[in-house]
Amino acid sequence: MKILDQPEESAPPGSAISYAGLIEKIEILRSTLRWSSKLERPEIEKLLRQASSLRDEVMQLSHKERFVQAAGAEPKRVDQTPGARRQGLLERSFIFEGTFGDNPKLLEALEIAEKAAPTDLPVLIDGESGTGKELMAKVIHANGSRGDKPYISVNCGAIPDNLLESELFGHKKGAFTGASNDRKGKFESAHTGTIFLDEIGELPLTGQVKLLRVLEAHEIQRVGSDELIAVDTRIVAATNRNLRRFCEEGRFREDLFYRLSVIHLTLPPLRERRDEIPLLLAYFGDEAAATLKRRPVRMSPRLRDFLKNYDYPGNIRELRNVIYRLACLAADTADLEHLPLDIRPKSALSSAMNDAQAPGGGSIVATSLSEAKRTASDEAERAFLERGLQEVGGTVAELARRFEMNRSHLQMLLKKHGLHSKDFRAAAAQRDKEA
């Protein structure tokens, strides 16, 4: 029987053992154990020694080494300028449905994605909301050997607990009330392709146990069925949570975290890659012009200045939305007054207030000032809700969760402003179709 080809002694100190390599060795050990019908005592002892030496090696790798080395065996090319690294990615026909510049943090994430793509190793992507995690998951899928196979996205935060198992693994007819037919789950649909587990940090602990089982056994069981179905699915997960902290707090299983994060990449927030902003402004300016069938909108210098220095808590998604808004509202040249009220600089707000005053000047009585305040506050509220709905693709339950608001109160506010969630769902579906 073939156990492990590698020599049994542990590697000499200082040798570069990658975390990915270690995981692979552990997998070989596991399948040896799983598939062997009978093992002799010396073989068992040998396997146990190998297991314990592997465990020591894993323990010795610092977190940093794990993540960096997992990106590939190649040493980092420190001599290359960011421009050359960017050019290198483009020349190697790296598929990226977006734009990127010379920012070293982003380049690092892209280079990791490039190296991870052709493997089947699980990837965990983290980063603030709107930093491009989903886009990155698609990039990893598109650049790998499964690029022409299914890519199935699951939002773990949006599935009610009682439907989770059926959603992920499918069910048999009659398994529970309402299960009127046999149904495939997401894992089966993603067979031979990639499954994207979005918002993995929201997965309840019960779901985490079930997911761990699939990751270990590569097989699933539909709810209500005894049959084991083998699934060959590459896993990419994403979160805007700090999963390491979640593990410490007991909200996320540590074993699942390590299973998912063989390759771990972090997308920097936009405020840490400001040098990319001009590129993104041009990119989305052209995209918005094409979508709205208009000439690209020009920007006043003070607006451009603002957009280059703004903090973008909603990251790239927020920048994109702002540009679409400008392209929709401005005639030829956009200015500060076209910005959403909640981010508009104070100076522009007060000049807008002045513009709103009665034409002949006249006395501003208390009632008109309070009227002006109310209008401004209403407008800010509406813009806030509108932006939120755009970000969640029109799902009110999700928006209520994000805003930590009571759902019926949120429904009431939407009604007050005449905002219809279905319009945003339709717009999101349209965007997905175009993407």
Ligand X SMILES: Nc1ncnc2c1ncn2[C@@H]1O[C@H](COP(=O)(O)OP(=O)(O)OP(=O)(O)O)[C@@H](O)[C@H]1O
Position 127 contacts ligand X (CB under 6 A): yes
Position 393 contacts ligand X (CB under 6 A): no
Give the DSSP letter of residue 297: P
Q: Which amino acid would we find at residue 142?
A: A
Give the DSSP letter of residue 154: E
Sign of CA pseudo-dihedral 57, 62, 68, 70: positive
DSSP letter for each residue of 46-113: HHHHHHHHHHHHHHHS-HHHHHHHHT-SSPP-TTS-HHHHHHHHHHTT---SS---S-HHHHHHHHHH
Name the minimum Å distance from CB 134 to ligand X: 3
Name the minimum Å distance from CB 75 to Mg ion: 32
Give the DSSP letter of residue 234: E
Nearer Cβ to ligand X (57/287): 287
Position 132 contacts ligand X (CB under 6 A): yes
Position 395 contacts ligand X (CB under 6 A): no
Return the range that interacts with ligand X (CB under 6 A); candidates 69-77, 122-130, 167-175, 379-387: 122-130
Name the minimum Å distance from CB 58 to ligand X: 29
Nearer Cβ to ligand X (17/107): 107
Name the minimum Å distance from CB 195 to ligand X: 15
If you count DSSP H runs as helices and E runs as strands, how many of each does the chain have, helices first?
19, 11
Alpha carbons 179 and 167: distance in angstroms, whole number: 12
Name the minimum Å distance from CB 135 to Mg ion: 8
317 interface partner picked from ligand X, Mg ion, none, CB below 5 to 8 A per type: ligand X
> Residues in contact with ligand X, total (CB under 6 A)?
16
Q: Is 219 in contact with 229 (CB distance < 8 Å)?
A: yes
Position 130 contacts ligand X (CB under 6 A): yes
Position 202 contacts Mg ion (CB under 5 A): no
Nearer Cβ to Mg ion (132/144): 132
Position 158 contacts ligand X (CB under 6 A): no
Name the minimum Å distance from CB 383 to ligand X: 18
Select from 18, 119, 131, 221 the one that contacts ligand X (CB under 6 A).
131
Sign of CA pseudo-dihedral 18, 19, 20, 22: positive
Mask: binding to ligand X, 191-230, rule CB under 6 A, as x and -? ----------------------------------------
Alpha carbons 110 and 94: distance in angstroms, whole number: 9
Position 388 contacts ligand X (CB under 6 A): no
Q: Which of residues 311-350 bind ligand X (CB under 6 A)?
A: 316-317, 320
Give the DSSP letter of residue 160: -
Mask: binding to ligand X, 82-101, rule CB under 6 A, as x and -? ----------------xxx-
**3-class DSSP state of 239:** strand
Position 134 contacts Mg ion (CB under 5 A): yes
Select from 66, 115, 133, 264 the one that contacts ligand X (CB under 6 A).
133
State which H helix or E strand residue 159 sits in.
none
Return the range that interacts with Mg ion (CB under 5 A); candidates 68-76, 130-138, 248-256, 381-389: 130-138
State which H helix or E strand residue 434 sits in.
helix 421-434
Give the DSSP letter of residue 155: E
Place of tokens 């808590």: 313
Whose CA is closest to 73, among 6, 21, 9? 21
**3-class DSSP state of 147:** coil
Other beta carbons within 10 angstroms of residue 56's beta carbon come to 10
CA neighbours closer than 13 Å in the CB half-sphere of residue 122:
24
Q: Which residue is nearest to ligand X (CB)?
A: 98
241 interface partner picked from Mg ion, ligand X, none, CB below 5 to 8 A per type: none
Binding site for ligand X (CB under 6 A): 98-100, 127, 129-135, 240, 283, 316-317, 320
Binding site for Mg ion (CB under 5 A): 134
